[in-house]
A and B are shown apart, each in its own frame.
Chain A
Amino acid sequence: MGTWEGLVTGLNFALQPGVLIFCLLGVLLGTFVGVLPGIGAMAAISLLLPITYYISAEAALIMLAGVYYGAQYGGAVASILMRLPGTPQSAVTALDGYPMARDGRAGAALFAAMVSSFAGSIIGIVVLVLLAGWLSRVAVAFGAADYAAMMVLGLVAASTIGSARPAKGFAMIVLGMLLGCIGTDVNSGAMRFTFGQTELLDGVNLVALAMGLFGVAEVIGNVRDPERQAVTEKIGFRQMAPTRDDLRRMVFPSLRGSGLGSFFGALPGTGSTLSSFLSYAMERRIARRPERFGHGAIEGVAGPEAANNSAAITAFVPTLTLGIPGDPIMALMLGALVIHGVQPGPMMLEARPEMFWGLVASFGIGNLLLLILNLPLIGVWVALLRIPFRWLYPAILIFICLGVYSVRGLTYDIVAVAGIGLAGYLLALARFNPALLLLGFVLGPLIETNLRRALLISRGDPMVFLERPISAAFVVAIAGLLLLSLVQWVRRRRRAIPAR
């Protein structure tokens, strides 16, 4: 089946009322749970699984996919309005989205997030349709050495994010990586830093970490802040709508972010996190006035949001073309297909073309629905900010606890949130950037596992990182980036010396 013919088949399938309704249900539920702190796509999909037993496999997949990308929209809302990111990628959105909201520009931030999310998704769909075959070959060609080099590049590129003192940024990344060591070591099976607690064997709960560092820390810092007590002035349409300047600033970051997201999303693992951090770092690096970042730069919302949404779409590439799920959520969706007797795998495209093309078409429809639903909702979300903070924050705390509890059903994790929240508050007081800690936490274990795996496979030969072309390219990029930073540093030094 040709691309065009396929798309028409897909649209016909996805626009049937019986299918459309599940798409709508999926994106609505996705947005809703995405807004709730700590409850992400994973929780919502597991919740919906029993329902999917009673509908067709295609409709089930379309609904679950809707939850998956719908949750990204919702996650952005929570991060921008309340600084409550449930995932590392929404933590990036919070970096500038939240300062914008504090500045009375929540509407513009939400608008930027939604429109660039939509743009990112559409570009992701185009890439998925045109380049799926190529991307899936790239994904298979990536070996352990290539992953390790790519993740290191991501860390190096992102390490400059949002800190006046680079050393403090590095410190957070390393601390995050160290926290990532907690739990069972993949390569040896050793239990590290668990101190006999079974609950720690799978590592620190990511949701608990994100909620503690961001949500709880933010609440503690604001409980008695007079500024947060009452936003009495009426927020008119003028403050809500993006200015012409905002719109102009959004265009290229969205496009660049979509490009990054489309590529990295297709690689199994953590493409979404990596691409949103990379997008942010890139925008900051090429901006004429990088010091605006962290204080409400709209580019810092548009780029990463486009990146994580396009990554969410192309994440389906290995799942659909190879039958290899790239992350646990994809594995969950494949599981739903298996229950329906659909064997996901390389044969699926030929055996059930309406499933592949129907899903692709539903991505487009679902994202359009999200945009149409969410743009009018901006006013409602912004109105949330007019609720006095003293009414809001106790609810936020309870919701955080239940969000964290929903992951594993363990009281242990709620207690952990309290501890992490205290640490997060102290870090915030000392002006350390928790987003970088989260990045180190996510990428650290991946770097360690893949680096050690690469050396194991090469039987101990470190040249493997230069012999594999993909890895060599990343190593060159890392070297280039470090050199660039060094040159900039020396130049700044030179300029500073005569001034003394």
Chain B
Amino acid sequence: MQRDWTDIFGGLALALIGAGAAGWASLHYDLGSLRQMGPGAFPVGLGLLLAVIGLIVAVPALRRAGEAVPVEPWSALAVLASILVFGFGLRSLGLVIAAYLGVLVASLPAPRRGVTWRLMLAGVVTLLTVLVFRTGLQMSLPLWPVWI
């Protein structure tokens, strides 16, 4: 039988997060009293609650059929890489190069072959970005690398 793996893993992951947060909070933050609740009271309470709810999500799913979920690891990788390239490039490489590279990386998993359209798209998006955020909104961003 194809079990409802998403709810099993999802629920268990949440339960772990909850238990972890409650554990960390109870070790590091004061619980306080009813009159003067400490910084630990809420995180511990919420963490335990999340652990319980996570189990409530996961346990019934063990005996239930579920459907397979289509995962797109390459899309995720490219999108995240694109954000990081842009983020780290922004201050050092400047808006133009960071945006150009960011778009190129992001477009890698797009379901169409060819290099030309990617290069052109990156150019157009970069131009738009500069126009909207630098020229229009006057954000204080370096356009070009620091060393130029």
Q: Please list the residues of chain A having a beta carbon within 8 angstroms of any beta carbon in chain B.
A: 33, 36, 39, 43, 47, 165, 167-168, 170-171, 174-175, 177-178, 181, 185, 187-188, 190, 192-193, 216, 219-221, 223-224, 226, 229, 390-391, 393-395, 397-402, 405-406, 409, 411, 414-415, 417-418, 421-422, 425-427, 429-432, 444, 448, 451-452, 455-456, 459-460, 462
Q: Is the CB of B83 within 8 A of A224?
A: no
Q: Which residue of A lies closest to B24 (CB)?
A: A193
Main DSSP-derived SS at the B contact region: helix
Q: Which of B57, B82, B121, B138 contacts A168 (CB 8 A)?
A: B57
A45 CB, nearest partner CB in chain B, Å: 12
Question: In the complex where A397-B106, A432-B10 touch, is A174 in contact with B56 (Cβ < 8 A)?
Answer: no
- Contact present for A226 and B30 (CB under 8 Å): no
Residue of A nearest to B92 (CB): A411
Known A-B contacts A174-B18, A190-B29, A224-B111; the reply to A401 vs B86 at CB < 8 A is yes
Docked CA distance A431–B61 (Å)? 13
Q: A393 contacts which chain B residues (CB < 8 A)?
A: 106, 110
A193 to B29, CA, bound (A): 10
Query: Considering the chains assembled together, what is the distance between the CA atoms of A399 and B29 in angstroms?
Result: 38
- Cβ of B36 within 8 Å of any chain A Cβ, yes or no, is yes
B106 touches A417 (CB 8 A): no
A427 neighbours in B (Cβ, 8 Å): 10
Does the CB pair A192–B43 fall under 8 Å?
A: yes
Closest residue of chain B to A32 (Cβ to Cβ) is B136
Give A448 to B111 CA distance when docked, in angstroms: 47
Interface pair B111/A188, CB less than 8 Å apart? no
**B83 lies within 8 A of A177 (CB):** no
List 5 other contacts, CB 8 Å, given A224-B72, A395-B128: A193-B21, A394-B107, A411-B88, A422-B80, A460-B35
Q: B132 near A: Cβ within 8 Å?
A: yes
Q: Are B54 and A414 in contact (CB under 8 A)?
A: no
From A36, A418, A431, A448, B42 is in contact (CB under 8 Å) with A448
Q: Tell me which residues from 26 to 63 in chain B have a Cβ below 8 Å from any Cβ of chain A.
A: 29-30, 32-39, 41-43, 46-47, 49-50, 53-54, 56-57
Whether the Cβ atoms of A394 and B125 lie closer than 8 Å is yes
CA distance A192 to B7 in the complex (A): 29
| Distance of A196 from chain B, by nearest CB (Å) | 12
B88 / chain A contacts, CB cutoff of 8 Å: 411, 415
A223 to B47, CA, bound (A): 34
- Contact A188/B38 with A397-B83, A418-B83 known, Cβ cut-off 8 Å: yes
CA distance A390 to B56 in the complex (A): 39
Report Cα–Cα, A226/B63, bound state, in Å: 33
Complex contact A175–B50 (CB within 8 A): yes
Closest to A401 in B: B86
A398 contacts B76, CB within 8 Å? no
| A398: contacting residue among B50, B53, B57, B103, CB under 8 A | B103
B110 adjacent to A411 (CB under 8 Å) = no
Pick the residue among A167, A188, A390, A398 that contacts B86 (CB under 8 A). Answer: A398
Per the 8 Å Cβ criterion, residues 89-148 of B in contact with A are: 90-91, 99, 102-103, 106-107, 109-112, 121-122, 125, 128-129, 132-133, 137-140
